[in-house]
A and B are shown apart, each in its own frame.
Chain A
Amino acid sequence: MKNLKSIKTIKLLALLFVANIAAVSCSSDDDGDDHGHHHDEELITTVTYRLTNGTDVVTLEFQDLDGDGSAAPTYDISGPLTANTMYTGSIQLLNETENPADNITEEVQNEGDEHEFFISSSISDIAITKTDVDENGNPIGIESSLTTGNAGTGTLTVILKHEPTKPNDGTADGAGGSTDVQVTFNIEVQ
């Protein structure tokens, strides 16, 4: 009687175990085709800084389609900037792994108070001013103006900070926050 009881218990346990395996294995197959949704929605693959003086357009583009993956990113600089010229600049961020590509610039714009771009150049003659503002009247930097001085070569760096101190001293280091974008282009002014 007692023996029977403990055998029953063991059988019951075994049954529970098998039932669980069966139940869970089935459910695992169900979401097997779920993996298409495992894209990184926040991924930024492409940064474009488009500069125009009304007639000419210069674009600086960075593209890294595999995100943090091992493939190297590509840089595409459409041409040199003209010396002593004022350009209107605008930054576009895209996630091109989505189809159609996701426009991340809009997210940054909507959360302007939590984001800020910092654009700087190693060429000291270049002056950059942010021309757009967030809801608190602090700069965002999606829109900017860039004025070139004398001819020269150097780099231009675009940084996007998430949750920086706003307002700040205008430098990326001074603003703190965490870095969402940091790309550096080789540029030429002629």
Chain B
Amino acid sequence: MKRFFVGLFIAFSCYNYSQDCNYTFIGNLQDFHDKSAIASATIYIKEKDKYLVSDFDGKFKIEDLCSGTLTLTISHVNCETKTVLFNITNDSSEIIFLEHHLEELSEVVVSSTIKTETTSIEQSLNKSEIENYSDKSLGDALNSVSGVSSLNTGNTIVKPMIHGLHSSRLLIINNNVRLFDQEWGDEHAPNIDINSADRIEVVKGANTLRYGSDAIGGLILVNPKKYAAIDSLFGSTMLSLNSNGRGGNVNTELVKTYQSGFYTKFQSSYRKFGDFKSSDYYLTNTGFKNFNASLRFGYNSFEKGFEAYYSVVNNELGILAASHIGNVNDLVASINSGQPRIIEDFSYDIENPRQSILHHLGKIEAYRRFKGLGKLTVQYDLQINRRKEFDLRRGDRDNVPVVDLSLFTNSLQSNLRIDYIDNLKIDTGIMARYQQNDAVSGTGARPLIPDYDKYDASIYTVGNYDLNETSDLSAGLRYDFSKIEATKSYNISDWEAYNYDVLFPEFETSNIDNSQILTRPKFTYHNISASFGYSKRFNNDLSFSFNYGLATRVPNPSELFSDGLHHGAARIEIGLLTIDKEVANKFVASLERNNENFGFTISPYYKQIDNYIQLIPAGITTTIRGAFPVWEYNQIDARIFGVDIDINKKINNNLKYNGGISLLRGDNISEDIPLILMPATNFNNSISYFNENLNSLTLSLNHKTVLQQKRYPDYNFFTFNPILQEDVYVDISSTPPAYSLFSFNSSMSFKAFKKGSLKIEFNVENIFNTSYREYLNRLRYFADDLGRNFNLKIKINY
């Protein structure tokens, strides 16, 4: 292929000769997709050094041609410029196809207002915004988007949350691969290096069917960059240093592109932090180490292309030492003392409890366009996730993980985009996926999640129709088949206590050993999901969108099978085989004004979720460690509604204001109480100064306030303390008070070397070293959140 192109170039650069010069060539320019005529295209004739313009029918005529090579370079405002060669031996006429969808190749045209689909309600982060978070996580970066918060375990395990929904209710798509990394766990952070991303989209509305049926909360798309087909070699290196945690990040990427359409990119980052510090004390054992690398290789042309992608993420995370507790009395002691029971001097050591996670992701994608039809894409992807959790243990078990899970996922999918009809675009596809979880033996502990095999198959169709110049309509339908087959041992006493011997006798095997019964639970699900979208553009940069989505989520392995003590929460968590799928009806609307001088987005939403699966206290059991609350998964009907508002205003040529507020209310309608762990009202303001003439100097002052969550379900209880000989109150529900944080950012860019540039940033987070706790941080019972941090970033582009 490559050789062919090279050959072409040699052919037209070497020679042309003339003999008879009286031939006529008639060209006919047509759109590749719908074969419509392309008028007013510019045609440059190299041999004559002359320009022509195609007529209304897309035709042009060249007379008095000599025999030999004819080289035409055709350009049109909405098309990719194309060079074609013909060998002229007599009068001839040719049809030349041009590509009318420049955005598909999206060279450098990505702007922050482009959406994945016209009707979709979404927000995005571009590369420069992502770079601000280069030593943080995906969840931290997304926290800056209105309506997005995060569920944290300390400050390094950060799970994104859209409209109060997280984990299995959010799909994270990395380079078109749906991430499977034991995402059901509250303390399992997504294994993504944000430095590998060029753009991150948060899709709140309906445009999710292509990726799954279960995006009840929404969808996060992490997209890499597409490269222009030019001969180039470029890269960048960024170093970021922080005072808090005394660590930082170094990220390097190198890109080589070829005019032939081939490209390759290598990116790698390494991060290391020691113990972080709250305003008053070190958060002992909160350091982490993180290594990432990704490699892309591909070929992009209009008609066909492929990409191979591989990424590895290796995380070693310390968990706050004080959060390891043995029983409820330890928890009460922690809550009452108001500060962690273990505070040591700063250290880079990562001791138990800790997590060690290795995530491999590989994919191969190939596409081809068919004339008068559209684009067919086929993708195979594979992920291997190995999660090891180490805890404080007796005996020589410090290096034996207490949780050791190996999750293998692979899928084959195809998508056909039919776009030959001018105002109708249809995406349709099928997907098959196989997943296997292996609870690796040798942990010396009962596995949290059992071995299972999961099979998924799906088919979907989504159509986008341009009603007229200003309005669009989209609709989609998806069917999913899903089957899970697990192998799990139950205590016979539990098996009978939960009445499983009556409900599920077919799961029992004859393998009974030492008061345990081996069972093989099998569940099959059929899901239908649907979406509808409408958008209309008005004058004054105003637009309105409305999205409806029907989403269905099958219970995750933890909701079905989890069974055991959860350290750090001092509770026993029980999944139930009787849990059924949850079904959500989502309504999201958005009124936007996309204008630099004064713009805004007002986006109200309403979600009705039937059979919403939640984990709540169900009783108290006595164990060898004393009394424990038992938390069981149950299902209720829930309702979540709220509004996200963003405003931007240009004060003068240098000053800009941005602000936002998110309001949310979540209700358990079945019991008429609030839903647990819903984000509180929060708002932010920022003023930034920008001066292009002064080395692009940017200064900004930002503020964020999170109010106290007053609406929470009260699951507090009393427990008997045998030492004090009295009942003590266990306040696990009350929420921390409101807090406000201020931060400062500054940056300057300099020219360096011949082509390169140098950017220096200085930032301060939590300027006033405010001590605070956040309701959505699972370690709020044990320690304060982060104190002040000074950050220095140096980025070199070359």
* Partner-B contacts on A (CB < 8 A): 2, 6, 9-10, 13-14, 16-17, 20-21, 24-25, 28, 31-32, 34-42, 44-45, 47, 62, 64-73, 97, 99, 104, 107-108, 110-111, 115, 118, 120, 122, 155, 157, 159, 161-163, 171-173, 176-184
Contact = CB atoms under 8 A, between A and B. Distances in A.
B513 A9 contact: no
B325 A178 contact: yes
A13 B378 contact: yes
Contacts of A159: 723
Given A14-B412, A28-B453, A179 B515 contact: no
A177 B326 CA distance: 8
Contacts of B567: 178
B408 A32 contact: no
A111 B395 contact: yes
Interface stretch (B237-245, B438-446, B696-704): B438-446
Interface string B293-309: 00000000001101000
In order of increasing CB-CB distance, the 8 nearest A-B pairs are A179-B326, A41-B444, A182-B626, A178-B326, A71-B493, A69-B491, A157-B722, A70-B497
Interface in B427-476: 432, 434, 436, 438-439, 441-447, 451, 453
28 contacts: A10-B366, A20-B382, A35-B518, A37-B442, A38-B443, A39-B446, A42-B395, A42-B397, A45-B624, A64-B623, A67-B446, A68-B565, A69-B494, A69-B497, A71-B497, A107-B395, A110-B395, A111-B394, A115-B394, A120-B723, A162-B394, A178-B326, A178-B392, A179-B625, A180-B625, A181-B625, A182-B624, A184-B722
Nearest to A120: B723
Contacts of A45: 624
Interface string B350-378: 00000000000000101010000000001
Interface stretch (B33-41, B327-335, B579-587): B327-335
Contacts of B436: 24-25, 28
B623 A6 contact: no
Contacts of B410: 17, 20-21
B430 to A, nearest CB: 12
B628 interface: yes
Contacts of B487: 32, 35
Contacts of B333: 173, 176
Contacts of A99: 514
A13 B412 contact: yes
Nearest to B397: A42
B725 interface: yes
A129 B447 CA distance: 39
Given A178-B325, A179-B626, A17 B491 contact: no
B680 to A, nearest CB: 31
Contacts of A65: 515
A81 B325 CA distance: 34
B324 interface: yes
A179 B394 contact: no
Contacts of A177: 326
A159 B489 CA distance: 30
Given A64-B624, A111-B395, A178-B325, 8 more contacts: A6-B304, A6-B366, A13-B366, A17-B380, A25-B453, A38-B446, A68-B621, A72-B622
Interface string B94-127: 0000000000000000000000000000000000
B572 interface: yes
B711 interface: no
Contacts of A20: 382, 410, 434
B779 to A, nearest CB: 15
A122 B451 CA distance: 47
Nearest to B445: A40
B625 A73 contact: no
A70 B493 contact: yes
Nearest to B435: A24
A146 to B, nearest CB: 17
A25 B324 CA distance: 37
Interface in B158-191: none
B607 to A, nearest CB: 34
Interface of B: 303-304, 306, 324-327, 329-330, 333, 341-342, 364, 366, 368, 378-380, 382, 392-395, 397, 408, 410-412, 414, 432, 434, 436, 438-439, 441-447, 451, 453, 487, 489, 491, 493-494, 497-498, 513-515, 518, 564-565, 567, 572, 621-626, 628, 722-723, 725
Contacts of A120: 722-723
Contacts of B408: 24
A67 B441 contact: no
Contacts of A179: 325-327, 329-330, 625-626
A183 B624 contact: yes
B729 to A, nearest CB: 16
Given A10-B366, A69-B491, A179-B326, A38 B441 contact: yes
A6 B329 contact: no
Query: Max chain B CB contacts within 10 Å: which of A28, A47, A180?
Result: A28
A73 B622 contact: yes
Contacts of A171: 723
A182 B331 CA distance: 14
B628 A68 contact: yes
A35 to B, nearest CB: 5
B495 to A, nearest CB: 9
A115 B395 CA distance: 11
Nearest to B485: A28
Given A64-B624, A68-B564, A155 B722 contact: yes
A17 B432 contact: yes
A64 B442 CA distance: 24
A122 B725 contact: yes
Nearest to B628: A68
A47 B489 CA distance: 25
Contacts of A21: 410, 434
Contacts of A35: 451, 487, 489, 518
A62 B624 contact: yes
Contacts of B329: 173, 179, 182
A97 B493 CA distance: 14
Nearest to B366: A9
Given A38-B441, A178-B392, A9 B378 contact: yes
B445 A178 contact: no
Contacts of A38: 439, 441, 443, 445-447, 489
Given A24-B434, A111-B395, A182-B722, A42 B444 contact: yes
Contact of A97 (B325, B394, B514, B621): B514
A10 B341 CA distance: 58
Query: Max chain A CB contacts within 10 Å: which of B436, B439, B518, B625?
Result: B625
A176 B625 contact: no
Contacts of A172: 723
Nearest to A45: B624
A163 B722 CA distance: 21
B491 A71 contact: yes
A65 B487 CA distance: 22
A21 B514 CA distance: 34
A172 B446 CA distance: 28
A110 B665 CA distance: 53
B395 A162 contact: no
Contacts of A13: 364, 366, 378-380, 412
A59 to B, nearest CB: 17
Contacts of A25: 436, 453
Contact of B438 (A2, A31, A40, A62): A31
Contacts of B493: 66, 69-71
A1 to B, nearest CB: 10
A135 to B, nearest CB: 16
Contacts of B326: 161-162, 177-180, 182
B327 A176 contact: no
